[in-house]
Structure 1
């Protein structure tokens, strides 16, 4: 248990603090998965996604509050923040190397791509810092996660309509929002066998499958322990996320489901574990009856091996990636700057993409960024004193391990829904770490933060935003 003790804890009274964090944070979490990732506000260009703009606003509020002494930047310490800071540091080093000319000559388009990549990174940092700073109680987490799962349910409804009608409701939405435009980065439909797989609100069917498999464990936790909705309503997000995984007809979704189940199921309450063993086969039977050919298609894509062109296209990337890495091995060619003319040269592997664009330093930073929250959440789950907190920590760990595994299947950080969802889970990893630490220290009350005596005396645990 002492492994969790990073700092002494304290009790903080926060009158008037909104449950679930500030409204702007909850809306950002909703829109990160519930609004089309490729529909942008035209004046802001490719970085004009609504969720990204709100996340940047959150970062601005956090920084302003720190400057004006609303809190100490050393408060709310947790291991996942270390991973985030490492990722930020290596990203800035690679970006600086590009702008200083250390990465060779660069075009205007490449520098603009690096700027967009950096803005997306800063938006994610705003989410991580805000979540850990604002979600201090279990009810905070339940309420904020409920908003995010509501967004996922909207995406699931869109995916279901796309799959059954082969029409895209996002096209209708774009006509109702003046000032917004489709930036052309989305792939809402893609053939797979005898089916057409769909992307919902995300940019690509693979992204939808991965995002859904990351959120599914959290939706099960919410269904079991949320108290502010009727029982049947609490399970709507889980059902919609399962539909998303099927509608993508994706190996990445199947991999994500396997990883999330392997990590999360051991932390389920005993009765829920038994139900999980029944629900899996039952879901396959319903799928087999309701959608003829779906089970065989999923099985066929999973066992195709080297006969599948999409797999060989990925393995063919390794020689090119190695050649480019050897040219600039330390900081790479610049974050986000790989824009090949030939579509076959796109790296469908985030680790290869990061190695080429940010070098071995960036690759190490990416692994640390994804792995530290996963391991710290598993450690928190191991020491959590009650079933609800144990499953919450296990669900966060499952999502981060899905992110680790699926990043080998597509260039994940280039997709906005994924790139914003990961920092949300990094922030939740910090929250569950501190919640478990609170209970282990057996301090009365649960609204607390970390910090030394001088910090407590000076800042009194005041919130950074009300």
Structure 2
């Protein structure tokens, strides 16, 4: 007869979830997920020069669009399984994405049903692929990113990459050094050799890695509220905030170095949203920060502020504004030919046709009234979702993030009226990413998940099941009564 040996105290393992005494707790790395793919998309979109495309393809595809196409394939496949953590269920943003995609398919079918010249048909194919990539980015965000911490990861990467663009812009503006010419990766080529540094009113206009100074300016105006959000939140929570203030300063400097009117018009719209929702103390801090920033710009680069002011005071003599107004009659004639579905996505291009420095006019010409309503509706859905999430959330950080995303999306909504936004890859990719981010926040708010909520089952929109009270209890429950059937997943 053998005796049962009792294990010594040092052999007993600590309870599951408890730290081992005397051993430092190491952070557990998060497995790769949709937020990881979102960060990869942000880095590639904003660091790889926008005019670099893959070699050897029949039409131009940027590395960021390749990530978007992968996201579209991932999203499609993920909805055939319950093991990849993708959210199920309808949201306003996702519904508007489907409406937008359906309008583009209808326009493509209508345009290709008749005769299209070869060059326009190639561009229609190219723009359909590009639009599919951008739709993939929205779906990757709205259905793939689960949890506020993962959403914060993506948005923080946007703020950091915006600061990096600010550094590149400073090198271009202050020292006439263009790092983009040394940033050509193997397998890529430039679509055009136009410089990333232009000139306006005797001053350099820089584009950083984007396709044009106007695009760079609007991108900075979109990112600045995000950097300010994390700077204010860190300051109010007693955490280190200097890094986020540096990011905000670099982004603001980049916007100034672009010497673009569109940026300040869009930023004014975003400021209206923020000032309405910000508390009084934050408004005062923001006013003081703006004053310090303006004085700093005046001392470092004296002529920039005067050039920017001239952009607004000299509107009557602005040739670019007169050119935009002259395009309206030609646009009206073309829209009358195909009022509902347009002449075809991507088929109106320069130098074959006039340039419309207005995305709403260009979209109406190419995709008709239905297409332009779907395009604008996508941004409206994002703004509504962000503000609705703010209303539903009780967490101050979540409420502030909702206000921030709404302000960010006001910028492209206004900017689309000042230049052909959809023709530029970086601002388009960032706009669609932020629409998806608003959808993520709305899904989080709708299901009551905040940073302090219980752990959430990554496959379902509900808290993870609690562990049983005793391994010996029957599945019927501790009180012996039959357990109720599991609740249907509300995210399906």
| Structure 1 SS opposite 2:56 | helix
Give the Å deviation of 1:60.
0.9
Please give the per-residue CA displacement for 1:227-283, whole angstroms capped at 9, x wherever unaligned: 999532223321221011101100001112111111123333543222012112222
Distance in 1, Cα, partners of 2:159 & 2:207: 17
Alignment of 1:313-352 (within 5 A): 313-341=323-351, 345-352=354-361
Aligned length: 438
Where do 5+ consecutive residues of structure 1 fail to align? 1-14
TM norm structure 2 = 0.82
CA 1:444–1:193: 2 relative to 1, 3 Å: closer
Quick check: 2:398–2:450 contact (8 Å CA) kept in 1?
no
Give the Å deviation of 1:386.
2.8
Alignment of 1:374-385 (within 5 A): 374-385=383-394
CA 1:214–1:239: 2 relative to 1, 3 Å: same
CA 1:279–1:441: 2 relative to 1, 3 Å: closer
RMSD: 2.8
Most deviating of 71-80 and 159-168: 71-80
Aligned with 2:315 (options 305, 308, 323) = 305
Quick check: 2:412–2:431 contact (8 Å CA) kept in 1?
yes
Quick check: 1:264–1:391 contact (8 Å CA) kept in 2?
no
CA 1:185–1:70: 2 relative to 1, 3 Å: farther
Distance in 2, Cα, partners of 1:165 & 1:211: 22
Q: Higher helix fraction: Structure 1 or Structure 2?
A: 1
Q: Which position in structure 2 is the counterpart of 1:25? A: 38
Quick check: 1:350–1:409 contact (8 Å CA) kept in 2?
yes
Quick check: 1:76–1:434 contact (8 Å CA) kept in 2?
no
Distance in 1, Cα, partners of 2:392 & 2:297: 37
Most deviating of 357-366 and 43-52: 43-52
Where do 5+ consecutive residues of structure 2 fail to align? 1-27, 463-485
Q: Which position in structure 2 is the counterpart of 1:63? A: 76
Q: Which position in structure 1 is the counterpart of 2:122? A: 112
Aligned with 2:186 (options 161, 178, 187) = 178
Give the Å deviation of 1:76.
4.6
Greater relative contact order (Cα < 8 A, sep 6+): 1
Please give the per-residue CA displacement for 1:64-102, whole angstroms capped at 9, x wherever unaligned: 12134547988153211222121111111101111211x
Distance in 2, Cα, partners of 1:137 & 1:36: 31
CA 1:289–1:42: 2 relative to 1, 3 Å: same
Aligned with 1:388 (options 379, 384, 397) = 397
Q: Which position in structure 2 is the counterpart of 1:285? A: 295
Alignment of 1:154-233 (within 5 A): 154-174=164-184, 177-184=185-192, 188-225=196-233, 230-233=240-243
Q: Which position in structure 2 is the counterpart of 1:43? A: 56
Please give the per-residue CA displacement for 1:381-438, whole angstroms capped at 9, x wherever unaligned: 2343132111111111111111111100011011101111111111111111122223
Quick check: 1:136–1:447 contact (8 Å CA) kept in 2?
no
| Structure 2 SS opposite 1:200 | coil
Q: Which has the larger radius of gyration?
A: 2
Aligned with 2:420 (options 411, 421, 425) = 411
Q: Which position in structure 1 is the counterpart of 2:466? A: none
Q: Which position in structure 2 is the counterpart of 1:143? A: 153
| Structure 2 SS opposite 1:191 | strand
| Structure 1 SS opposite 2:199 | strand
Quick check: 1:376–1:429 contact (8 Å CA) kept in 2?
yes
Most deviating of 430-439 and 295-304: 430-439
CA 1:366–1:317: 2 relative to 1, 3 Å: same
Quick check: 1:71–1:461 contact (8 Å CA) kept in 2?
no
| Structure 1 SS opposite 2:230 | helix
Quick check: 2:69–2:132 contact (8 Å CA) kept in 1?
yes
Distance in 1, Cα, partners of 2:445 & 2:180: 41
